[in-house]
């Protein structure tokens, strides 16, 4: 029975799929997404991280709408500590730090998510194409990855941001993207190399599927966990790098962000003056948001690898 069933299974893989094969695949994909959803909703790390992320997103979206105040408005209330009138105190020129923090949250979150998405998309396309195509294409793209991997990203970002004439969030986003995509692309290439010889890829190739469809409809769904972890890690790195570049004055310091708040606090000797309320709010915001992103990253790893799970995921009966 074994010797007769083995050729029949091979023939069915290379021939036209059976009428119920597509429905079976749909059921398997749906069950996989249900398993992922159960892993997300029953993981305390995910819930804590999502709650913190939701809070910052709500502040970024609705905070400036409700405040309707100029974060750069000057007043005579200079260097006042936190009070009922100014919740987070004021700067040396009388600017309200609470208002600046709300607008800075919007700027940092917006460009952090956009730049993280741009890094993820660039890594995704280059890594998948290099891993699947192989040959000369893989050699060229791998050489490009290796060049950017051996380059020190932070010094390179500082040099690029220094010599680019236009200073602003767009420049910072492009500089960080250019210096940060290679690591994610390398991981995705390695994973694609292990998947391109699998039976389902060979079956899709034999059935006449295009290269684009095989890469993004057959291989990519099996790397979603890796892509999601890369996106979360990229957002965290972008927010930290953006704050660092703004702190060094390499961005547009007239646009309020967490990094520009650090820049003006350092430039006006807030630490020497004892104005801890000037630099502590953006520092705590970056710390809390970074913790949330790290929790989400760990949770994604646990969902992708069942051996790392500490919480048992109840199965549906």
Beta-bridged to residue 96, according to DSSP, are: 90
**How many CA atoms, within 13 angstroms, populate the side-chain half-sphere of residue 38?**
15
* C-alpha radius of gyration, the chain, whole number: 25
Q: CA 112, CA 133: separation in Å to the nearest integer?
A: 31
DSSP 279-301: HHHHHHHHHHHHHHHHHHHHHHH
Residue 22 scores a pLDDT above 60: no
Q: Are 250 and 161 in contact (CB under 8 A)?
A: yes
Top pLDDT among 200 and 37 is at 200
Backbone angles phi, psi at 316, to 5 degrees: -70, 140
Instruction: Give the per-residue pLDDT at 12.
Output: 41
CATH of domain 98-317: 1.10.3720.10
Instruction: Give the per-residue pLDDT at 47.
Output: 84
Q: CA 249, CA 262: separation in Å to the nearest integer?
A: 10
Instruction: Give the per-residue pLDDT at 43.
Output: 72
pLDDT tens for 261-317 read 999 999 988 888 888 999 999 999 999 999 999 888 887 777 766 555 554 444 444
Task: Name the pTM for this structure.
Answer: 0.79
Top pLDDT among 297 and 142 is at 142
pLDDT tens for 231-275 read 998 998 999 888 888 888 888 888 899 999 999 999 988 888 888
Task: Name the burial class of residue 200, with classes exposed (0-12), middle (13-18) and buried (19+) by CB atoms within 10 angstroms of its CB.
Answer: middle
């Amino acid at each position: 029975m074994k010797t007769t069933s083995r050729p029949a299974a091979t023939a069915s893989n290379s021939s036209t799929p059976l009428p119920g094969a597509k429905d079976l695949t749909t059921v398997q994909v749906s069950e996989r997404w249900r398993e992922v959803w159960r892993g997300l909703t029953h993981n305390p790390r995910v819930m804590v991280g999502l709650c913190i992320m939701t809070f910052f997103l709500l502040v970024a979206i609705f905070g400036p709408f409700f405040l309707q105040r100029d974060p750069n408005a000057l007043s005579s209330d200079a260097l006042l500590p936190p009070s009922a009138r100014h919740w987070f105190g004021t700067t040396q020129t009388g600017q309200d730090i609470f208002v600046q923090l709300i607008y800075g949250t919007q700027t940092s979150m917006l460009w952090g998510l956009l730049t993280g998405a741009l890094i993820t998309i660039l890594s995704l396309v280059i890594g998948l194409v290099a891993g699947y195509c192989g040959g000369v294409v893989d050699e060229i793209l791998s050489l490009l990855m290796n060049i950017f991997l051996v380059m020190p990203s932070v010094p390179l970002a500082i040099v690029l941001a220094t010599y680019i004439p236009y200073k602003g969030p767009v420049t910072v986003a492009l500089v960080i993207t250019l210096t940060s995509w290679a690591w994610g692309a390398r991981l995705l290439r390695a994973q694609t190399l292990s998947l391109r010889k699998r039976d389902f890829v060979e079956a899709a190739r034999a059935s006449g599927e295009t290269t684009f469809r095989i890469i993004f409809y057959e291989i990519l769904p099996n790397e979603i966990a890796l892509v999601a972890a890369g996106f979360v890690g990229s957002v965290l790195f972008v927010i930290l790098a953006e704050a660092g570049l703004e702190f060094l004055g390499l961005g547009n310091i007239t646009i309020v962000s967490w990094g520009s708040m650090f820049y003006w606090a350092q430039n006006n000797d807030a630490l020497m003056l004892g104005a801890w309320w000037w630099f502590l709010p953006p520092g705590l915001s970056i710390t809390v948001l970074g913790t949330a992103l790290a929790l989400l990253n760990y949770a994604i790893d646990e969902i992708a690898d069942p051996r790392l799970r500490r919480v048992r995921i109840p199965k549906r009966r």
